[in-house]
Structure formats: C-alpha cells, structure tokens
Amino acid sequence: MEGSVQEEQTNYQEVRALRVRIAELEKMQQEQNLALHQEKEVRKALETRLHTVLNERDCLIEELTEAQDNINALLDANQRMDEFLGIASHELRTPLTTINGNIQLAKRRLKAFRLDDTREDFANKVDVIREMLERAERQVRVQNRLVGDLLDISRIQANRLELHFQEGDLITIIKEAVEDQRAAWPKRLIVLDNFSCTQEILIEADPDRIGQVITNYLTNALKYSAPETGVNVAISSTAQEVKVAVQDAGPGISAEEQAQLWQRFYRVPGISVQNGSGVGLGLGLHICRTIIERHGGRVGVDSIQGEGSTFWFTLPFIA
C-alpha cells in the first residue's frame, strides 16, 4: 500500500515535471514561432527595400545614361558649332577674295586695250574679261547664299522667320527655280519629269520660300554629284497633298546619316562638294525643313549609298 502511494507520488512528480517540460517546450515553440515570424517580416521588409533599391538603381542608371547622352549631344553640337564658325569665317572670306582678284585682273586687262588692236584681239580680250566677271558673279551668288543662310538661321533661332502666304501655282515656282539653276549650271541636265501633263497646282504658300527650298535641293543635288550626271525633278499628288522630289545620282546617304541631315550645322562626313565653289555650312536643309513644316508639310530623303538620293517635300492642298 505504502509502495503504491509512493509510486503514485513518483508518477505525479513525473507528470508535473513532464507538464513543466511541455510548458517549457510550448513556450520555446512559441518563441521560435515568434522569431520565425519576425524573421519572415524582416526578410519581407528587406526584400521590399532591396526591390526599391534596385528600382532606384535602375532609375539612376537610366538618368545617368540620359545625362550622358545629353552631354554627348551638347559636345557634338559644340564641336559642330566650332567647326561651323571656322568654316563660316573662311567661307565668307573666300568669295570676296576671288571677287576682288577677278575685278583687279579685269581692270588690268582693260588697261591693256590698245587703239590699234585688231578686231580679233579685241574680241579675245573682251572674252577673257567676260570670263573674269562671270567668275566674280558666281562668287557673288555663293556669298549671297551664305549670308542668306546665316540670316535665315538666326531668324529661325529667334522665331522670327516671316512667311508671306498667298495663293499661287507650284508648277510656276518649280519651273522658275529650275530655269535659274539651268542658267547657273549650263552644262548640267535638269529634267522636269511628268510636268507636261500638269498645267497648274494651286497652293497657299510663300512662293519665295518654296522656291528657296527647291533651289536648295537642286543646288545640293548638283554640287554633291559628278558633273556628267543629271538631276530629275518630279511632282506627284494625292487628294490631300502635293509632293515635289529632286533626284540625283550622287554619293547617296546611309540610313543613319539621313536622320541627322536636317539638324543645324550637320554635314555628312565623307561627302564633299564635287562641283561649284565652296563647302556648305550645313544650314540649308535645316532651313528647308523649317520652311516646309511652317507650311504644314513634310520633308524627307530616300537614298541608297552609292546610288544617289531623292530629297522631297510635301505641301497640303488648300482646304
């Protein structure tokens, strides 16, 4: 009896000890659960933070790339501006030197006229003098274009390019520009494609400025291609707009360069003037684009390197 009481007591103590142990284990389990939960929370917070940091890093990299691109664009523009200033000051002086030189020579030749010159001598001397004056005249045209481009570009920059809109015939404007270029380049062939069937195309535009765009396309086509090649001018239309295209058989322009051509001061590396005098300032096409866009039209170029280029513009019809 005494034995079983003792046994019971021992059991009771063991049960108590077990309960205490279980309670301890439960507490430990709870603490572990809590720690696990906290760890999960911390991990979640860390993951969120990491995500944010990674996003911020991506944004910073993007901003940095953008800033770098801007710096590169500015450096490019600066370099083009420096080149432009160098070329402009040289190009503005060159025609004057040639004009002055030819006038001096012509004056000297005039002094050499003698009363007893034969008719033939006289005619020869006059021819030489005419050639000198024509050379001077060509340089006046070059100078005029350079100064005109510089004035236009400063007007565009100041948002002060004035257009005088009036209703007029595009065919007449094109023909006049072509005639001027035929006179300036008598040895070159300039063909007006499919013009015979087109009588009149009425547009609301500044005729002088549209003539300037066609002249710029034509002079580029003539000066950047070989002297034995011709230039083609074509016109086509849809219900909404008319398109004028000037095609040459010059060096052609890569797709990458085509996108940049219309920027101020841009000249395609490796493309040099084949005919006529003076290098370009890289302003003409930018001026053309501004003029055409101010008329509500578009400009563009289709070109394959080595095969030539077609520069075109569109103008909307009067609504």
Name the pairing type of β-strands 190-192 and 231-237: parallel
Considering only the stretches 55-63, 122-130, 207-215, 276-284, report the one whose residues sit in contact with ligand ADP under the rule CB under 6 A. 276-284
Determine if 139 is a binding residue for ligand ADP (CB under 6 A).
no
Name the pairing type of β-strands 299-304 and 308-316: antiparallel
Q: Which is nearer to ligand ADP, 201 or 264 (CB)?
A: 264
Determine if 213 is a binding residue for ligand ADP (CB under 6 A).
no
Determine if 250 is a binding residue for ligand ADP (CB under 6 A).
yes
Determine if 281 is a binding residue for ligand ADP (CB under 6 A).
yes
Q: To the nearest whole angstrom, how small is the minimum distance from the Cβ of residue 72 to ligand ADP?
A: 21
Q: To the nearest whole angstrom, how small is the minimum distance from the Cβ of residue 203 to ligand ADP?
A: 23
Q: Which residue's structure tokens are 């006529």? A: 276
Using DSSP's 3-state secondary structure scheme, residue 198 falls into coil
Q: Of the candidates 125, 87, 244, 123, which has an alpha carbon nearest to the alpha carbon of residue 177? A: 244
Considering only the stretches 51-59, 159-167, 182-190, 279-287, report the one whose residues sit in contact with ligand ADP under the rule CB under 6 A. 279-287
Q: To the nearest whole angstrom, how small is the minimum distance from the Cβ of residue 258 to ligand ADP?
A: 9
CB atoms within 10 A of CB 174: 22
Determine if 242 is a binding residue for ligand ADP (CB under 6 A).
no
Size of interface with ligand ADP, in residues (CB under 6 A)? 21
For residue 40, what are the contacts with CB-CB under 8 A and spacing of at least 6? none
Determine if 251 is a binding residue for ligand ADP (CB under 6 A).
yes
Considering only the stretches 7-15, 23-31, 129-137, 247-255, report the one whose residues sit in contact with ligand ADP under the rule CB under 6 A. 247-255
Which residue stretches of 244-317 are H helix?
255-260, 284-294
Determine if 91 is a binding residue for ligand ADP (CB under 6 A).
no
Say how far apart CA 145 and CA 183 lie, in whole Å: 16
Give the one residue of 84, 185, 224, 312 binding ligand ADP; rule: CB under 6 A: 224
Give the one residue of 139, 143, 309, 314 binding ligand ADP; rule: CB under 6 A: 309
User: Which residue spans within 158-238 are E strands per DSSP?
Assistant: 166-169, 190-192, 202-205, 231-237
Say how far apart CA 13 and CA 154 lie, in whole Å: 104
Determine contact, residues 98/143, Cβ cutoff 8 Å. Answer: no
For residue 193, what are the contacts with CB-CB under 8 A and spacing of at least 6? 232, 233, 234, 235
Q: To the nearest whole angstrom, how small is the minimum distance from the Cβ of residue 316 to ligand ADP?
A: 24
Q: To the nearest whole angstrom, how small is the minimum distance from the Cβ of residue 184 to ligand ADP?
A: 15
Nearest to ligand ADP by Cβ — which residue?
280
Considering only the stretches 44-52, 58-66, 132-140, 246-254, report the one whose residues sit in contact with ligand ADP under the rule CB under 6 A. 246-254
Say how far apart CA 58 and CA 64 lie, in whole Å: 10
Determine if 271 is a binding residue for ligand ADP (CB under 6 A).
yes
Determine if 297 is a binding residue for ligand ADP (CB under 6 A).
no
Say how far apart CA 234 and CA 131 lie, in whole Å: 34
For the beta sheet containing 231-237, the strands, ordered from the edge strand earlier in sequence to the opposite edge, are 190-192, 231-237, 241-248, 308-316, 299-304
Q: Of the candidates 223, 155, 221, which has an alpha carbon nearest to the alpha carbon of residue 191? A: 221
Determine if 285 is a binding residue for ligand ADP (CB under 6 A).
yes
Determine if 278 is a binding residue for ligand ADP (CB under 6 A).
no
Q: To the nearest whole angstrom, how small is the minimum distance from the Cβ of residue 259 to ligand ADP?
A: 12
Name the site residues for ligand ADP (rule: CB under 6 A): 216, 220-221, 224, 248, 250-251, 253, 261, 266-268, 271, 280-286, 309
